[in-house]
């Protein structure tokens, strides 16, 4: 069934996405209704879980005719733990050992830009106006406007898209400029590889001689001292030479944990632009654009149905579109509202089902570094009260639990306490953008 499902996925995904993300996946085994697919690394696993789980499951369900569940297993644990070991050794200053720790091939340092992520295909709307404008300004005048430009926002909201779009524009208007697009993760892997092969001079030459450096997902270097050190020098060399740097992150610089102060402050030197979740109209406009590009024809009512579902992440929205396209072409039926409701039932329904009060309590306790017991206690310290109220609000927002249900899971609070907490947080979310961001980050973390 996997073979067949993969063939079907090949029809609906772009050639590149298919080659990158589906081809390396192998069938491993199955157990009851759970299909296990093997993938090369745990990074790969995370990526598939975040981006392709639903599409793959959709394809498997259609080809097998059964309701299945899906699990990914990492097939090549060794090479990965060696890389991590290498980073660990660099942190500890044991360069020699780090060099021996990994035995992978160097691959090409510069990642190609994603051809679909252009300004033409980016919908500017509430939530991303400012980041979009800043990205355009930088693309049109590299190194003469904001340097660095730091774009941050939750997952799937268009940061990579803007970063690639900057790259495309500069490459087409100034073909002589050397534009380098690279994720922070890749930066680290390349560094470790070059270090191992005693080729750090090549690595430094590569990164310190670019004209435009586009670094995606910088939060990845959190806690990775060796990588931070190297990135710090790369940043300085480029900035001093008046080269454009653009960085994306899922967090505001101050909120990235375990990040050296000197890097944090550099990230704040230029312009910081945030991307907030899109509103309904923007989601509709994005769906329309995506349906043009993918040629998946969406009737108005279905567009509205998808846009008004509780997803606030554009990648998820796109996932639903692709899934509908897949269903429609595989079963040879047109997309209708009824069909959309039916085929997305599990995605839209599942999420509510899976999220439990316990899960939320754990996420909030972790976020604030407090004990779950403190959330359930009567303690009145300010930070505990706030964490408790946020947890209660999230339970109300993300589960179907009633006020009394929630109260009882928070050490038997009465329902007026629960109502008070939700109102208080509602208001704070409304008044304070930073607070909104904090709560939304926890929420996104729970949804992952
Ligand atoms: P992030 O880097 O913030 O996690 P991406 O840039 O990968 O998110 O965006 C996720 C998906 O959503 C991509 O396919 C991207 O094309 C799409 N997307 C996000 N924002 C927009 C937008 N404003 N207009 C069109 N597509 C968008």
Tokens matching residue 237? 């060399």
Please check whether residue 429 is in contact with residue 435, taking contact to mean a CB–CB distance below 8 angstroms.
yes
Separation between Cα atoms, residue 29 and residue 35, nearest integer Å: 6
Pocket of ligand 1 (CB under 6 A): 117, 121-123, 128, 153, 155-161, 286, 289, 314-315, 318
The tens-digit pLDDT sequence of the chain (448 residues) is: 888 889 888 887 877 678 778 888 989 888 888 899 998 776 677 778 877 888 898 888 888 888 888 999 887 554 444 444 455 545 444 444 444 444 333 434 457 888 889 999 999 998 999 999 999 999 999 988 999 999 999 888 999 999 999 999 999 999 999 999 999 988 988 888 888 788 888 899 889 999 999 999 999 898 888 899 999 999 999 999 999 999 999 999 999 989 999 999 999 999 999 999 999 999 999 999 999 988 899 999 999 999 988 776 898 898 889 889 888 887 889 999 999 988 887 667 655 557 899 999 999 999 999 999 999 999 888 999 999 999 999 998 778 788 888 999 999 988 778 888 888 887 787 777 778 778 878 987 887 7
The CA 411 to ligand 1 mean position distance, Å, reads 41
State the closest ligand 1 atom to the C-alpha of 124, by its place in the atom list counted from 1: 23
CA distance 355 to 347: 13
Length of the chain: 448
What span, in angstroms and rounded, lies between the C-alpha atoms of 240 and 439?
37
Rounded to the nearest whole angstrom, what is the distance from the C-alpha of residue 37 to the centroid of ligand 1?
27
* Contact between residue 303 and residue 339 where contact means Cβ atoms under 8 Å apart: no
Stated pTM of the model: 0.62
To test ligand 1's pocket by mutation, which of 17, 113, 157 has the most ligand atoms within 8 angstroms of CB?
A: 157
Q: Positive or negative CA dihedral for 349, 350, 353, 358?
A: negative
Q: Kindly state the tokens that stand for 427.
A: 């208001």
ipTM of the prediction: 0.99
Tokens of 444: 């996104």
Question: From its phi and psi, is residue 260 left (phi > 0), alpha (psi between -120 and 50) or beta?
Answer: beta
CA-nearest residue, atom 5 of ligand 1:
158
């Amino acid at each position: 069934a996997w073979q067949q499902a993969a063939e079907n996925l090949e029809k609906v995904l772009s050639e590149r996405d298919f080659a990158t993300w589906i081809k390396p996946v192998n069938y491993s085994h199955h157990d009851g209704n759970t299909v296990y697919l093997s993938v090369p690394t745990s990074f790969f696993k995370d990526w598939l879980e975040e981006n392709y789980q639903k599409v793959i499951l959709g394809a498997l369900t259609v080809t097998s005719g059964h309701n299945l569940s899906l699990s990914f297993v990492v097939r090549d644990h060794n090479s990965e733990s060696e890389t991590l070991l290498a980073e660990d050794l660099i942190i500890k200053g044991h360069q020699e050992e780090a060099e021996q720790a990994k035995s992978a091939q160097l691959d090409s340092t510069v990642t190609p830009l994603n051809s679909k992520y252009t300004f033409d295909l980016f919908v500017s709307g509430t939530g991303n106006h400012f980041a979009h404008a800043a990205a355009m300004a930088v693309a049109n005048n590299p190194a003469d406007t904001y340097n660095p430009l730091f774009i941050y926002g939750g997952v799937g909201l268009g940061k990579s898209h803007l970063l690639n779009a900057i790259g495309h524009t500069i490459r087409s208007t100034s073909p002589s400029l050397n534009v380098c697009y690279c994720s922070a993760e890749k930066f680290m892997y390349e560094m470790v590889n070059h270090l191992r092969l005693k080729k750090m001079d090549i690595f430094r030459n590569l990164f310190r001689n670019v004209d435009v450096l586009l670094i995606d997902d910088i939060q990845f270097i959190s806690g990775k001292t060796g990588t931070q050190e190297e990135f710090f020098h790369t940043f300085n060399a480029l900035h001093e030479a008046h080269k454009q740097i653009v960085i994306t992150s899922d967090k505001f610089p101050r909120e990235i944990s375990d990040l050296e102060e000197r890097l944090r402050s550099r990230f704040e030197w230029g312009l910081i632009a945030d991307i907030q979740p899109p509103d309904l109209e923007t989601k509709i406009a994005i769906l329309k654009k995506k349906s043009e590009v993918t040629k998946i024809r969406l009737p108005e009512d279905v567009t509205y149905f998808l846009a008004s579902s509780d997803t606030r992440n554009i990648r998820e929205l796109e996932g639903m579109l692709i899934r509908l396209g897949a269903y429609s072409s595989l079963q040879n039926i047109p997309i209708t509202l009824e069909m959309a409701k039916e085929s997305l039932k599990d995605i839209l329904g599942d999420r509510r089902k899976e999220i439990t009060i316990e899960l939320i309590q754990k996420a909030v306790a972790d976020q604030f570094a407090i004990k779950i017991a403190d959330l359930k206690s009567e303690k009145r310290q300010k930070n505990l009260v706030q964490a408790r109220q946020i947890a209660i609000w999230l339970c109300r927002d993300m589960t179907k639990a009633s006020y009394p249900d929630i109260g009882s899971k928070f050490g038997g609070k009465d329902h007026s306490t629960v109502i008070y907490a939700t109102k208080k947080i509602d208001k704070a979310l409304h008044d304070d953008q930073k607070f909104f961001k904090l709560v939304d980050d926890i929420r996104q973390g729970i949804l992952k």
